[in-house]
Amino acid sequence: MAQTSSPRREFLLGTAAAALAPAQQREIRVAHVGIGNRGTGLVKQVLAQPDVRVTAMCDTDSGKRDAALSMAARDSPRSFTDYRQMLDFKEIDAVVIATPCDLHAEMASIAMQAGKYVYCEKPLGVTPEQVAMALKTARSSKAWLQIGQQLRYYPTVRESIRQIHEVKAVGTPFVIKAQRHSTATDPAAGQRVLPAWYDDVKRSGDLIVENAVHNLDVCNWAAGSRPVSCFGHGKKYLPQTIPAGSVMMDGFSVTYLYENDMHLDYSQLYLHPRQMRELKNGQWYIVFGSEGSLEINGGMLYPMRGEPSKYFTEEIEKGRENAMAEFFRCIREGQRPYASIEIGATAALTAIMGREAIYRKSMVTWKELGVSV
């Protein structure tokens, strides 16, 4: 299999040489497919972009579709219930996909085949076959796909990756420890407001694919590599224990070994009491190296000898995620997106490999997935 891009190359990809001719028109015409919670947020982001017009809305839920049409009334978008019919509408340059996870790869592939630029929410797919299909389509398309791995567009995360791979702040990196912990859901507080498909592991890909794919992508980026093997364990712990594979897990741990021999321990648990401060709650990533350790989201460097220091500047800390702005900039300037389909495929396959290791209760290798990225 081909090696992943170097960290330096990935970091500069947003300003790489043009792979496609710049869009001729100044105004970019956008269609939205899927207008649930995340999709509605993306509509708001698109409406805030200069010289961008929302020309079509597609959703099978009439209530959500009508709400989105009202939100974008300024642009008088057309209404659709079938995304294939929508793609026949000529006034579309780009498509934003925010549907259930199991539909991402198919919809993105058909949109790229139609010559549309695609912004697709993560994960790229929930099975290796779906990921392979999207990659195959992208390789023959004149358009491209930007994956919704938004952490790639946070100035704080970018600076942390630069410190690891360019500044060599920790020397040679060896080990990553990361987590995404929170307290258990209080039954008295009521059920989570989530769509029905979310808890269907066949549709969402389970917690590790639908949710942890963001965190695992950052770990891949920090490692500057991709995994070759994985062990894992998880289940639905509360309110009663259910083995993994039938309902969405609320806790799991996975261990990955990378091509460059780095090692990742990642856990995601909804079992972390707020009062337990010996192990910090929330999301964090720590990279351990020959010269010290670095906390990615905290911007702290801990040398083997000497005092800790913060490497985030005030400007970096105040910087905001700009994935959608970058999407339209790349279309106008004929550039490849920073979070490319290869990034999305690697992140999705990393999560899928972890899920399969948990389900099978045995080691799973990248090679077994059968997908060339």
The mean pLDDT of 92-102, rounded to a whole number, is 98
Residue 2, in any domain of the structure: no
Does the pLDDT value for residue 22 go beyond 50? no
- The C-alpha atoms of residue 136 and residue 132 are separated, in whole angstroms, by 6
How is residue 157 annotated by DSSP?
A: H
Residue 15: pLDDT band (50, 70, 90) is: very low
In a domain, 1, yes or no: no
Is there a single domain that holds both residue 110 and residue 146?
A: yes
Query: Same domain, yes or no, for 191 and 278?
Result: yes
Asked whether 65 and 58 are in contact (CB, 8 A), the reply is: yes
Asked, for residue 102, whether it belongs to a domain, the answer is: yes
Distance of CA 162 to the CA centre of its chain: 19
pLDDT of residue 188: 61
Give the domain range for residue 212: 153-319+351-369
Query: Which domain CATH number covers 199?
Result: 3.30.360.10
Q: What percent of the chain has pLDDT over 70?
A: 92
Tell me the mean pLDDT in the region 264-279: 93
Residues 147 and 191 in one domain: no
200 and 336 inside one domain: no
Residue 298 lies in a domain: yes
Residues whose CB is less than 8 angstroms from the CB of residue 172 and which lie 6 or more positions away in sequence, other chains included = 289, 290, 291
The Cα 87–Cα 71 span in angstroms is 21
Strands 292-295 and 282-289: antiparallel
pLDDT digits (tens, 9 = 90+) for 202-260: 999 999 999 999 999 999 999 999 999 999 999 999 999 999 999 999 999 999 999 99
- 125 and 178 assigned to the same domain: no
CB 238 within 8 A of CB 247: no
Report pLDDT for 277. 85
- Over 60: is that where the pLDDT of 190 sits? no
Cα 40 off chain centre by: 18
Amino acid 194: pLDDT: 83
CATH classification of the domain holding 42: 3.40.50.720
Confidence at residue 189, expressed as pLDDT on a 0 to 100 scale: 58
Look at residues 8, 4, 74, 1 and name the one whose alpha carbon lies nearest to residue 217: 4
Amino acid making up residue 145: L
Average pLDDT of every residue of the chain? 92
Residue 160 has pLDDT above 90, yes or no: yes
Is 343:149 a contact under the CB 8 Å cutoff?
yes
Tally of CA atoms within 13 A in the half-sphere of 207 that contains its CB: 23
Residues 134 and 64 placed together within one structural domain of the fold: yes
132 with 168, same domain: the answer is no
Residue 346 belongs to some domain of the structure: no
The answer to whether residues 70 and 215 belong to one domain is: no
pLDDT in the model for residue 186: 72
Residues 128 and 158 in one domain: no
Whether 24 maps to a domain, the answer reads yes
Domain count, the chain: 2
Residue 193 covered by a domain: yes
What angle separates helix 341-360 from helix 213-223, to the nearest 10 degrees?
110
Check whether residue 160 and residue 191 sit in a common domain: yes
Q: Does residue 293 sit in the same domain as residue 184?
A: yes
Same domain, 259 and 145: no
Answer whether residue 27 is part of any domain: yes
Token pair listed for 105: 């790869």
The predicted-structure confidence for 323-364, as pLDDT tens digits, reads as follows 999 999 999 999 999 999 999 999 999 999 999 999 999 999
